[in-house]
A and B are shown apart, each in its own frame.
Chain A
Amino acid sequence: MKKIKIVLAKPGLDGHDQGAKVVARALMDAGFEVIYTGLRQTPEAIARIALDEDADVIALSSMAGSHLPICKKLKPLLEQAGLADKLWVIGGNLPAQDHDALRALGFKGIFPSSSKLDDIINYIRTNAP
C-alpha cells in the first residue's frame, strides 16, 4: 500500500519549530512519509511544495498567532494548485474562538496546544484521502 504523504510546513516568520519537529517524528514513526519544509515558508511556497510532492495531507504548525491571515492566503493557492481534495490540518497555538474560522477556510483537522500525538496520527490515518 502506498504510504500517506504529508507536507508539514512552518508558515510565516514564527521560529518555534520544536512542536513541528516532534509531530514530524511522530508521523514518521507511525509509518507516514513526511516532508518537513523548515521555517519561514510563504503560502506560495507551501502550495508549490505540496503540489510538487503530490502530498495527501498539508499540515501547518503555527505558534505565533498569525494562523488566520496565513490560512486565508493559503486557501485559494491550494485550490488553484488542485489540492482542494487533500486533507488540510493545522496545529499549534490556536485559540478555540478561531477554530470555526479555520474550519471554514478548509482546515478540517485542528490540533491546538495540548493535543496528543496519537490523536493527530489517528485523525490523519482516518481522514487522509
Chain B
Amino acid sequence: MKPKDLPEKELRPVVNESGIEVKPLYTAADVEASGGAGMIGLPGEYPFARGIHPTMYRKQPWTMRQYTGFGNAADTNQRFHYLIANGQTGLNVAFDLPTQCGMDSDDPQAEGEVGRVGMAVDTLRDFEIAFEGVDLERITVSLTINGAAAILIAMYLAMAEKRGYDLTKLRGTAQNDILKEFVGRGTWVYPVEPSIRLVGDTIEYCAKHAPKYSPVSVCGYHIRESGADPAQEMAYAFCIAKAYADDVIRRGLPVDEFAGRLSFNFNCFGNLFEQVAKFRAGRSLWAKIMKEQYHAAKPGSMWLRMIAGGGGGGLTFEQPELNIVRGAYYALICALSGTQTMALCCFDEAYTIPSEYAQRISLRTMQMLIEEMGLTDTVDPLGGSYYVETLTNQMRARMEAIMAEVDAQGGIVKLIAEGAIQAKVSAQAYRHQRDVDAGTFRKVGVNCYRTEDKTPEMEFHPYKDEDARAQVQALDKVRAERDAARVQAALARVQADARSGANLMPAIMDAVKAYASVGEITNELVGVFGRFREPVRF
C-alpha cells in the first residue's frame, strides 16, 4: 500500500516528546524530504551518525558501569569488588551529598547526610581505601562529582600516582559538568563564572598531564530528568559543552589537544525510536559542530563519546518489578544507539540505594544483550530504516533550532545564570506531570493497568549513624597525623592561585597530597569566589 492510500485522517495523531509528528509509514521519500541520506555515512567516518568506530561492539562491547557508592570508602570498596566479580567492566562512583557540596563530614550542615546517598570522602585517605585492590588499568573509574570535581579529580590522580600508575596513560572520567548542576541536580558551590573556570582548569591540566583521562562528561541526562524533551536534552548539553570548549580555547589550547577527551552522558527513557534517532542525530551534529565551528582536524575531536542509560525518570514507584523490564528496554535502546558505556537504574531505585541483588539484575540485563541477543554483532542495526533515518534528520534539525534559539537569547551561560532554562524545563515537567495524572501520557502501572495485588517487598538500604561518626573520627585521625605546616602552605597556595587566575589544579594537587580535606580546599575557594545564589525561578 502506498502512503497516499492510507486513511490517515482516521488514524490517531502521534507526536513524539520532541514535538515531531510520527507517520504510520515511512518510505525513501520521507528520508529525502527530511534532508536526504547525506549525513548517514559509515561508522568510524565523519559525520559518525552510525558510530564513532568502524566495527563498534564487534571489537569490544560497551563498558558496564553501574552507579555505586554508600557509607564509607571501605563499604563502597566491598561493593566495587562484588560488581567486578560479577562481570562489571568499569566503576561509576556515587558520593554523598556533603562531599558533592564541598563539605567535610564534620560540617554542621552534613549532619544526617554523611554516607547516605553515596560514599563519604574527606581526604585522599578515603580514595586510597575505596580503590584498594582495583586494577585501574583494567577497570576504568568514573567519578560522579561536579561542584567538588577539581578536588576529587586531583585525589584520583594523586591516588593513582601513589600506586605507581603512569598518569600519561591513566584512563577514567569525571562528570565535572557544573552548568547542568544549576539546571538540575543542584550540587553547585561557586557562582557560574568561577565554576566554569574550574572546569576549564581541569580540562587544561589533564590535556597536559593526564591526556587519556576524560575530565568532563557533559550531561544532557539531568536536564532531561528536570523536564527537557529528548531534543532539548541533547541541544542544551551541546551548548554547555561549547561553553567549556570556548573557555579552554580562550586560554590558547588548540581544540585538537583537548576535544578528544570531552565525553557525554545521556538519558534513554521514552519512545524507543525517538531515543535511537536522538543518539544518531546527536553524534552527527556534534561532529559537524566540532568540524565546522571549531575547525577540529582529528577525528577523535569530533567523536560524541558517551555513557548512556540510567532512565530514572522513566522508572516508576508503582509496581517496581516492572522497572526490571523497563531497564531491559532501556539497555536495548542504548545498545541500538552505539553508546560507549552503559549504566542502568535499578528496579528498586525509586525507593532506596540499590541492593546487590538489584545491581546484579541490571548487570545481567546488559550481559544478556551481549551474550544472547546479538546486539554486539553488527554496527548500527537500525541504520537504513526509513523511519529511523527520517527521524534522525528531523531530530538533528530540532536540536540545531534549539541551539540557535539559545544563542539568539544570549547564550547558555547567561540563560542558566538567570534561571531561564530552569524555568523552561520546570514548566514542561509540570505539564508532563499533569498529563500523567490525567492519563493522557500513559505509564503502565501508574495511570493504566494498575493492580491492587501485592508487589514484592523492597529491601531498604540501611543507614547507620555510627558509620557517620566513624567517618568523622577517621577524618580527625588524618588531621592529627598529617603535616600541618604543609597543609597550611598548600591551602595558602590554593587561595593565592584562585586570586591570581592561575590554573588551580597544581595547587589543588599539592593540597590533596598533603591530605587537606574537601571542605578545607572548598572553603579557600569560596573565600575568593563566593557562593552561588540560586535564582529561584520555576
Contact = CB atoms under 8 A, between A and B. Distances in A.
6 contacts: A13-B113, A39-B186, A42-B109, A93-B350, A95-B352, A118-B437
Nearest to B99: A13
Contact of A13 (B98, B316, B534, B536): B98
A66 B118 CA distance: 13
A113 interface: yes
Given A16-B185, A18-B429, A39-B534, 4 more contacts: A13-B187, A15-B97, A65-B463, A69-B112
B460 interface: yes
Most B CB contacts (10 A, CB to CB) among A17, A18, A64, A95 go to: A18
B101 interface: yes
Most A CB contacts (10 A, CB to CB) among B350, B429, B430 go to: B430
Contact of A12 (B112, B226, B460): B112
Given A12-B112, A95-B460, A116 B117 contact: no
Interface of B: 97-98, 100-101, 103, 109-113, 116-117, 181, 184-187, 225-227, 316-318, 350-352, 426-427, 429-430, 433-434, 437, 446, 458, 460, 463, 534, 536, 538
Most A CB contacts (10 A, CB to CB) among B112, B185, B187, B351 go to: B112
B225 A38 contact: no
A29 to B, nearest CB: 8
Contacts of A97: 460
Contacts of A13: 97-98, 100-101, 103, 109-110, 113, 187
A22 interface: yes
Contacts of A14: 97, 186
A12 B181 CA distance: 16
Contacts of A36: 536, 538
B97 A64 contact: yes
Main secondary structure of the interface of A (DSSP, over half): loop
Interface string A1-31: 0000000000011111110011011100000
Given A37-B536, A116-B437, A117-B437, A69 B186 contact: no
A116 B435 CA distance: 11
A64 B117 CA distance: 7
Contacts of B225: 18
In which size bucket is the chain A interface? 20 to 34
Given A15-B181, A38-B534, A22 B426 contact: yes
Contacts of B538: 21, 24-25, 36
Nearest to B432: A22
Contacts of B100: 13
Nearest to B98: A13
Contact of B184 (A12, A18, A38, A116): A18
A52 to B, nearest CB: 15
B116 A64 contact: yes
A18 B226 contact: yes
Contacts of A105: none
A43 B350 CA distance: 25
Interface string A85-108: 000000001010100000000000
A18 B430 CA distance: 9
Contacts of B429: 18, 21-22
A129 B139 CA distance: 58
Contacts of B430: 21-22, 25-26
A80 interface: no
Contact of B227 (A18, A68, A114): A18
Interface of A: 12-18, 21-22, 24-26, 36-40, 42, 64-66, 68-70, 93, 95, 97, 112-114, 116-118
A68 B463 CA distance: 12
A15 B426 contact: no
Contacts of B426: 18, 21-22, 25
Contacts of B317: 112-114
A37 B533 CA distance: 12
B306 to A, nearest CB: 22
A75 B230 CA distance: 41
Contacts of B101: 13, 40
A16 B186 contact: yes
Contacts of B226: 18
A13 B318 CA distance: 26
B384 to A, nearest CB: 37
B452 to A, nearest CB: 14
Contacts of B351: 93, 95
Contacts of B181: 15
A14 B100 CA distance: 10
Contacts of B434: 26, 117
Contacts of A38: 534, 536
Contacts of B460: 95, 97
Nearest to A35: B536
Nearest to A66: B112
B113 A66 contact: yes
Contacts of B113: 12-13, 64, 66
B433 A117 contact: yes
Contacts of A117: 433-434, 437
Nearest to A17: B186
A14 B538 CA distance: 17
Contacts of A40: 101, 109, 186
Contacts of A68: 112
- Which 10 pairs of residues, A with B, have the shortest CB-CB distance? A15-B186, A69-B112, A13-B97, A21-B538, A114-B317, A113-B317, A38-B536, A25-B430, A21-B426, A38-B534
A42 B352 CA distance: 24
Most A CB contacts (10 A, CB to CB) among B113, B117, B538 go to: B538
Contacts of A16: 185-186
